[in-house]
Protein backbone atom coordinates (compact mmCIF):
# COMPACT_ATOMS: atom_id res chain seq x y z
CA UNK A 1 0.00 0.00 0.00
CA UNK A 2 1.43 3.34 -1.02
CA UNK A 3 1.79 6.18 1.44
CA UNK A 4 -0.60 9.05 1.23
CA UNK A 5 1.32 12.28 1.10
CA UNK A 6 -1.73 14.42 1.10
CA UNK A 7 -3.91 15.81 3.80
CA UNK A 8 -7.56 16.59 3.81
CA UNK A 9 -8.09 20.30 4.08
CA UNK A 10 -9.87 21.39 7.21
CA UNK A 11 -13.42 22.19 6.35
CA UNK A 12 -13.83 25.75 7.50
CA UNK A 13 -12.55 27.22 10.71
CA UNK A 14 -12.06 25.12 13.79
CA UNK A 15 -14.94 25.42 16.16
CA UNK A 16 -13.55 27.10 19.26
CA UNK A 17 -16.31 25.65 21.40
CA UNK A 18 -15.24 22.05 21.16
CA UNK A 19 -14.92 20.15 24.39
CA UNK A 20 -13.78 16.63 25.20
CA UNK A 21 -16.35 13.97 26.01
CA UNK A 22 -17.63 13.83 29.59
CA UNK A 23 -16.46 10.26 29.64
CA UNK A 24 -12.84 11.37 29.06
CA UNK A 25 -13.02 13.98 31.83
CA UNK A 26 -14.58 11.43 34.17
CA UNK A 27 -11.82 8.96 33.40
CA UNK A 28 -9.16 11.57 34.20
CA UNK A 29 -10.77 12.45 37.54
CA UNK A 30 -11.02 8.78 38.48
CA UNK A 31 -7.43 8.22 37.38
CA UNK A 32 -6.34 11.08 39.58
CA UNK A 33 -8.24 9.68 42.55
CA UNK A 34 -6.74 6.24 42.03
CA UNK A 35 -3.15 7.35 41.60
CA UNK A 36 -0.95 7.48 44.67
CA UNK A 37 2.71 8.35 44.65
CA UNK A 38 4.77 7.11 47.59
CA UNK A 39 8.27 8.13 48.38
CA UNK A 40 10.59 5.66 50.02
CA UNK A 41 14.25 6.52 50.54
CA UNK A 42 14.13 9.18 47.82
CA UNK A 43 12.60 6.73 45.30
CA UNK A 44 9.09 7.48 44.11
CA UNK A 45 6.60 4.66 43.61
CA UNK A 46 3.29 4.97 41.78
CA UNK A 47 0.29 2.83 42.58
CA UNK A 48 -3.08 2.73 40.91
CA UNK A 49 -5.86 1.71 43.26
CA UNK A 50 -9.01 0.60 41.61
State the binding string over 1-20 for other proteins (x if CB under 8 A, else -).
-xxxxxxx-xx--xxxxxxx
CA 38 → CA 17, 18, 31, 48, distances in Å? 38, 36, 16, 11
> Which of 12, 41, 42, 44 forms a contact with other proteins (CB under 8 A)?
44
Helix (H/G/I), strand (E/B), else coil: 39: strand
CB of 42 vs other proteins, minimal distance in Å:
12
**Nearest CA among 32, 36, 16, 35 for reference residue 24:** 32
Give me the residues that bind other proteins (CB under 8 A), please: 2-8, 10-11, 14-21, 24-25, 27-29, 31-33, 35-37, 44, 46
Amino acid sequence: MQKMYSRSSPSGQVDKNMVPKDQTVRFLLNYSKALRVFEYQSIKFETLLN
